[in-house]
Structure 1
Amino acid sequence: MNFIKRIFGSVQPRYLIRAYVLSTAFMALMVWMTLSAGGAQPLHDRAATLAVFGVGSLLFPFSKLVWDEIKRVMMGETVFFMNAFILMFLKLIVNLFLWGFSIFIAPLGILYLWFRSRNAAA
């Protein structure tokens, strides 16, 4: 329990809420696509797929954290001026990629938060 408190306590609630809203939108899209596939897959395959999507949705804020920290380290306070439609499309693609691979990326974010909160407590 202390582990979960330390991890979630290290992230701003606003950041978590925004990430979970985006994650919920991606999850709803994937649920709709999976269930509308018709009889292409057996029910247990669809249930397993949705379970993996659900775990990925819970881990998405931590994979997004990894991306944001890498971006912060690599670019600092750099500002880019570009077309808003292109920027939003690129952000959508990056977030969809982060959501899809959150099961693999999020453990890095959780480890980062663990070590960061450990150093802050000491």
Structure 2
Amino acid sequence: MFLKRIFGALQPTYLIRAYVISAAFMAFMVWFVSYMAKGQPLTGDKIATLLVFGIGALLFPFSKLVWDEIKRVMMGGNVFYLPIIFVLPLKLVVNYALWCFSIFIAPLGIAYLWLRSRQSA
């Protein structure tokens, strides 16, 4: 009931796009952790690190939702035209920060979806 209500409040294309971005960051972090291990077996701390990364990866769409809603409130319907050379690195940094802190930001997004879906029901 809870998951159906939360995931039902988001558009499927939004979820797919967010999970693709999240999977890319997760793949990079798995590569990084395995590269730093340099052939050593996975220890408990590395497994715990990957587990935290995995939880953060699952929560990323809700963290991204918080950012998108803040942008919507602050900027309204305004559109800015900027060179792509500036926009893409900025989007990459913002999405990476949202991915890193998704464990802390996502509960706000989940609460927002819960309240929004409760009002529409």
TM-score (norm 2): 0.95
- Give the paired residue count: 120
TM-score (norm 1): 0.95
Shift of 1:79: 1.1
Shift of 1:19: 0.2
Counterparts of residues 34-73 of structure 1 (less than 5 Å): 34-38=33-37, 43-73=43-73
For 2:52 and 2:103, locate their aligned partners in 1 and report how far apart those are by CA, in whole Å: 9
Deviations 1:52-88 (A, max 9, x none): 0000000000000000000000001111111101100
For 2:41 and 2:107, locate their aligned partners in 1 and report how far apart those are by CA, in whole Å: 30
For 2:41 and 2:111, locate their aligned partners in 1 and report how far apart those are by CA, in whole Å: 36
Any gaps of 5 or more consecutive residues in structure 1?
none
Identity of aligned residues (%): 63
Deviations 1:7-29 (A, max 9, x none): 00000000000000000000000
Range with bigger deviation, 16-25 or 36-45: 36-45
* RMSD over equivalenced CA pairs, Å: 1.4
Q: What is the aligned partner in structure 1 of residue 101 from structure 2? A: 101
Amino acid at match of 1:18: R
